[in-house]
Amino acid sequence: KNQVEQSPQSLIILEGKNCTLQCNYTVSPFSNLRWYKQDTGRGPVSLTIMTFSENTKSNGRYTATLDADTKQSSLHITASQLSDSASYICVVSPKEANYGGSQGNLIFGKGTKLSVKP
């Protein structure tokens, strides 16, 4: 069964510190993996998207890595800021054999809730 597991479930860090969020998946084969940031009370916003052939992708202080062999991805946040407090969701797209249908469904992790304290 296709699954995406994220850890930790929640994390508290001090402002200015770095942190790493984990995403393990069983989706195979897959097309791409994305990280979304979701502020409280808002919809998710895309941070990075990587295909299976990419190892790393950066977006400012956010750097995502992907190891397709071990089926693991991580999101590293450097020099955290109070505005980084949010939920971070890992999403994996199965490689569709046919256009449309359930094979086109995205597989969502439940997210990691990050709190950055002053």
Residues near other proteins (CB under 8 A) are 31-32, 34, 41-46, 49, 89, 93, 96, 99-102, 104-106, 108-111
Burial 87-113 (b: 16+ CB within 10 A, else e): bbbbbbbbeeeeeeeeeeeebebebbb
Please state the closest distance from residue 106 (CB atom) to other proteins, in A.
Answer: 6
CB of 42 to other proteins, least distance (A): 6
State how far the Cα of 69 lies from the Cα of 61, in Å rounded to an integer: 26
> Cβ closer to other proteins: 33 or 80?
33
**CB 24 → other proteins: shortest distance, Å?**
15
In degrees, to the nearest 5, what angle opens at C-alpha 15 toward C-alphas 12 and 16? 120
Considering beta carbons, is residue 84 or 111 the nearer one to other proteins?
Answer: 111
Closer to other proteins by Cβ: residue 94 or 116: 94
Judged by beta carbon, residue 36 or residue 84, the one nearer other proteins is 36
- Specify the pairing of strand 86-94 against strand 112-117: antiparallel
